[in-house]
């Protein structure tokens, strides 16, 4: 995160672009984008009365991102901040209440707790929750926490550990959102992912460097698992060769 907040003009530009892209701006290294650009821009705008027009959609976007990375409690808080700028919005109130309900219905446990901690920038605390888990879901949660901490080597080791697990693997948007750029560009990551492809569950998400508009659509029926795995196999091979040449 930058040591200084952006200027008002820069903050307005950051938020305008983010709001225009909607959640398509949630991409690999997305956590760096959120904490390094969007949240500092919101802090700058908050200090300037003539920037309040962006606070409602800005905090709404943060809430949507938190929902996409499986953190409904954090989403509800963000929607609550948005409501402060339009308290009469029944639609936004319904969205916030739905997030509260999702948080109440979430399966309690360390993975759920870690997701909420990651959404508010507490990566070390999140890692402490899942560091000893050895299930597929636990290893993925550990990779997310290590990624959010910026620990490239530990993140790569977690993905290599995932390749040695057994059983189905469902990749979610959060697995890409917290992925460091150096991991995305490492041949070791793509080799590990290639070993996981035969076990990928239907509906697994692939997020690419240009965003997830085409790769993640919660309203679109996922392709048959055979087709999805074939696509993932080709994608992993392309990226492995790309990174090996770099």
Q: Is residue 121 part of a domain?
A: no
* Shared-domain flag, residues 12 and 96: yes
* Shared-domain flag, residues 241 and 136: yes
Report the distance separating Cα 240 and Cα 217, nearest Å. 25
Please give the C-alpha separations between residue 88 and each of 11, 54, 82, 92, 170, in angstroms, as whole numbers. 26, 17, 11, 9, 39
The CATH number linked to 101 is 1.25.40
pLDDT tens digits, the chain, 246 residues: what are they? 445 899 999 999 999 888 887 665 565 558 888 999 999 999 999 988 777 789 999 999 999 999 999 999 999 999 999 999 888 899 999 999 999 999 999 999 999 999 999 999 999 999 999 999 999 999 999 999 999 999 999 999 999 999 999 999 999 989 999 999 899 999 999 999 999 999 999 888 876 544 333 444 445 677 788 888 888 899 899 999 999 998
Report the distance separating Cα 205 and Cα 121, nearest Å. 23
Q: Is residue 14 part of a domain?
A: yes
CB count, 10 Å around CB of 91? 8
Q: Which of 105, 140, 173 is the last residue of a domain?
A: 105
- Residues contacting 119, CB < 8 A, separation 6+: 66, 69, 71, 74, 75
Tell me, what DSSP letter sits at residue 172? -
Q: Is residue 221 part of a domain?
A: yes
Q: Is residue 123 part of a domain?
A: no
Report the distance separating Cα 215 and Cα 19, nearest Å. 19
The predicted structure's pLDDT at residue 215? 44
Q: Is residue 126 part of a domain?
A: no
- Sign of the torsion angle spanned by Cα atoms 185, 150, 189, 168: negative
Structure tokens at 7: 């200027």
Contact 123, 174 (CB under 8 A): no
Q: Is residue 222 part of a domain?
A: yes
The predicted structure's pLDDT at residue 220? 62
Q: Which of 88, 105, 122 is the last residue of a domain?
A: 105
* Shared-domain flag, residues 92 and 192: no
Range of the domain at 140: 132-245
Q: Is residue 117 part of a domain?
A: no
* Shared-domain flag, residues 49 and 138: no
- Sign of the torsion angle spanned by Cα atoms 208, 210, 214, 216: positive
**Count of domains in the chain?**
2
CB burial class (10 A; 0-12, 13-18, 19+) of residue 156? buried
* Shared-domain flag, residues 92 and 194: no
Q: Which of 65, 86, 105 is the last residue of a domain?
A: 105
State the distance between the two ends of the chain, measured CA to CA, in whole angstroms. Answer: 27
């Amino acid at each position: 995160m930058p040591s200084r907040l952006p200027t008002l003009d820069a903050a307005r530009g950051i938020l305008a672009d983010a709001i225009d892209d909607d959640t398509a701006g949630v991409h690999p290294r997305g956590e760096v984008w959120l904490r390094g650009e969007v949240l500092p821009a919101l802090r700058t705008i908050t200090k300037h009365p003539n920037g309040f027009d962006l606070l409602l959609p800005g905090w709404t976007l943060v809430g949507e991102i938190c929902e996409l990375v499986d953190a409904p409690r954090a989403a509800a808080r963000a929607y609550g901040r948005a409501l402060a700028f339009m308290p009469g919005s029944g639609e936004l109130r319904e969205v916030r209440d739905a997030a509260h309900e999702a948080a109440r219905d979430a399966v309690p446990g360390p993975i759920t707790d870690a997701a909420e901690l990651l959404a508010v920038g507490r990566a070390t605390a999140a890692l402490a929750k899942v560091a000893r888990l050895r299930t597929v879901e636990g290893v993925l949660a550990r990779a997310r926490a290590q990624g959010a901490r910026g620990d490239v080597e530990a993140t790569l080791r977690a993905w290599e550990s995932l390749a040695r697990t057994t059983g189905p693997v469902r990749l979610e948007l959060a697995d890409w959102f917290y992925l460091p750029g150096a991991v995305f560009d490492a041949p070791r990551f793509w080799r590990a992912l290639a070993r996981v492809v035969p076990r990928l569950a239907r509906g697994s998400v692939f997020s690419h460097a240009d965003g997830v508009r085409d790769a993640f659509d919660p309203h679109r029926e996922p392709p048959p698992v055979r087709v999805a795995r074939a696509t993932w196999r080709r994608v992993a091979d392309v990226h492995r060769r790309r990174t090996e040449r770099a």
